Amino acid sequence: MVYLLVRWVILAAAIALTAWLMPGMAIHGNYFVSLIIISALYGLVNAIIRPIVMFLSCPLVILTLGLFALIVNALMLSLTNWFLPEILTIDSFFWTTIIAALIISIVSGILNIFVHGNDNW
């Protein structure tokens, strides 16, 4: 349970860093509460919908040597933006969303490496 909460906080930190770095991505409302809501929904979208989309687009992922996975990540972020239009706004789908999804993936991946090494959870 603690491991799940720590990963949730890591995802919230990655989204906060991405919103700070990307000029086309903005978080509205109470910043902390909005980050928790966005990271919870983004985590659920990645846990439930992303595996289905990756399975259905498996030939495209193989054909592009994995680069289509970036598009799938951007689609998941765009879907989160669609569910939360008053909390999260992303200006354009193509560049802003793809780069934001890439930054979130890299930052959360790096931070999860440090957490994953601790098996005492």
Per-residue HEC secondary structure of 79-91 comes to HHHHHCCCCEEEC
Domains held by the chain: number: 1
Please enumerate in sequence order all residues whose Cβ is within 8 A of that of 69, keeping only pairs 6 or more positions apart, or say none. Answer: 54, 61
Q: Is residue 18 domain-resident?
A: yes
DSSP-assigned letter for residue 30:
S
Phi, psi of 22 (to 5 degrees): -90, 120
Confidence of residue 57 (pLDDT cuts 50, 70, 90): very high
- Residue 118 predicted with pLDDT over 80: no
- How far is Cα 16 from Cα 11, in angstroms, rounded to an integer? 9
Domain with 28, as residue range(s), is 2-116
Q: What is the pTM of this model?
A: 0.88
Q: Is residue 93 domain-resident?
A: yes
- List, for residues 81-117, the tens digit of each pLDDT value: 999 999 999 987 788 999 999 999 999 999 988 886 6
- What average pLDDT score do residues 34-46 get? 94
Q: Is residue 121 domain-resident?
A: no
SS3 22: coil
Q: Is residue 48 domain-resident?
A: yes
- What average pLDDT score do residues 32-51 get? 94
- Residue 120 predicted with pLDDT over 70: no
pLDDT value of residue 117: 60
Q: Is residue 94 domain-resident?
A: yes
